Amino acid sequence: MLIVAAILAIFVYGMIAAMLGTILPDLSKKFSLSPKQNGSIAMTQAIGLMIGSFFAGPLMDMQGVKAGLLLGLALVAMALLGLKTAKGYGMIAGLMLMLGIGGGAIVNGANGLPPFIAIAAISTAGVFNILNLFFGLGGLVTPLVAARIFQNNSSKLLLFAATITAATLAFSTVTAMPAPKGSVSFQGSAVGDLITQPSLMLLALTLFLYVACEVGVWNWLVRHLIAQGLTENKALTILSLGFALGLLVGRVAVSPILSSVTPERVLLGSALLMAVTTYAMLQTSSAGMAQGLVFLAGLAMAPVFPTTLAIVGARFTAMAATATGIALTAGWFGLVISSPIIGGIAGDDPKGLKKALLLLPVASLIMAAVSFAL
């Protein structure tokens, strides 16, 4: 039941990660949202993710993983239902903030479970990757269902996602989860001690740069492809069967590799491949080429997030959830920074996204340097 609970929670977060990029074209049409407003909406979600990740860590160190996970799932279910009836830009931004807070708690909680799960012949970092492949599956399902079943109707998609989240909440409620390691007071000095650890700062910077890249694809790829002349359905399919599928396959493929190669070397290789593939995917307007290159980009990105969290958990066992929360908060700050920059560079012209999205290969190269230092 613990494995199923972890899988469901990570699947739900995968749906959330793909949600904004999937519903944004429909919402933009309904409420005449500009790319700058799209960027601001994405920023509110990122701020929520920072809040949820940072405060869920100490909560789970004190009360156990289950407390943070249930809180996150409840907030996400309410936010999805609220977005279904949103009336305009302000309401959408507020609900995306709530969705982000819930999502941050879910990510921290779900990734607190792999150290307690043993899979034969697979390292702990490998278990993180295996379970996080369901993040890719959630990201694959969201745009695919939106395009093929709900015909890009955001209201139906949001109800579908809310139903799955509510079912996950119910399952997690009846599942026994690891008890807290002991009473941990949320003191500034304790957090300060963690922040001064060089390895944690390098890991946090890795997530900062990585999240800027990954969520940049989730939130902006569809609009970029539409601006290159592709239909909305085709662009959503590329996001699903290209990027999300690449994340899914990549996490399966890397798990056995992590039994013989150090996680730090995997991070370095992934960063270098990300730089090449994200640059290449922006240079084509062919649907077939775009799908192949986006798939390769997803493949390159796949190991980074779970492998980084595995390293954090292994190096900071005493306050694992709080350390994970700090690293994740830095990651979501990458989204806060990248989305307004991408939207600002693009301006009011969707075709400007091609230039703006060059932020992704640049960030990947910086991440490679950080991984080398780590």
Q: Give the domain extent around 112.
A: 2-174+193-373
Q: Choose the weakest-confidence range: 155-164, 196-205, 253-262, 343-352.
A: 343-352
- For residue 217, is it within any domain? yes
Q: What is the mean pLDDT of residues 245-261?
A: 87
Give domain status of residue 58, yes or no. Answer: yes
Q: Which two tokens stand for residue 99?
A: 């969705």
Report yes or no on 185 lying in a domain: no
13 with 110: CB under 8 angstroms?
A: yes
- What confidence score (pLDDT) does residue 187 get? 55
Does 104 score more than 80 pLDDT? Answer: yes
Q: Which of 16-30, 258-272, 335-349 has the highest mean pLDDT?
A: 258-272
pLDDT of residue 80: 93
Confidence of residue 181 (pLDDT cuts 50, 70, 90): low
Interval 28-38: pLDDT, tens: 888 888 777 88
How many domains are contained in the chain?
Answer: 1
pLDDT of residue 108: 87
Judged by phi (left if over 0) then psi (alpha if -120 to 50, else beta), residue 32 lies in: left
With respect to residue 213, please indicate whether it lies within any of the assigned structural domains: yes
- What average pLDDT does the segment 71-78 reach? 95
Better pLDDT: 297 or 223: 297
Q: Is residue 179 part of a domain?
A: no
Q: How far is CA 269 from the centre of its chain?
A: 20
* The pair of three-digit structure tokens given for residue 136, joined into one six-digit string: 């890719």
Task: Take residue 63 and report the two structure tokens written for it.
Answer: 């009360």
Burial 348-372 (b: 16+ CB within 10 A, else e): eebebbeebbebbbebbebbbebbe
Nearest to 191 by CA among 207, 204, 181: 204
The whole-angstrom distance between residue 232's C-alpha and the CA centroid of its chain comes to 22
Q: Which amino acid is at 75?
A: L
CA distances, 323 to each of 73, 121, 147, 190, 308 (Å): 21, 27, 38, 10, 12
Q: What pLDDT band is residue 324 in, cutting at 50, 70 and 90?
A: confident
Q: Give the per-residue pLDDT at 191.
A: 65
- The CATH number linked to 152 is 1.20.1250.20
Identify whether 53 is part of a domain. Answer: yes
**Does residue 182 have a pLDDT over 60?**
no
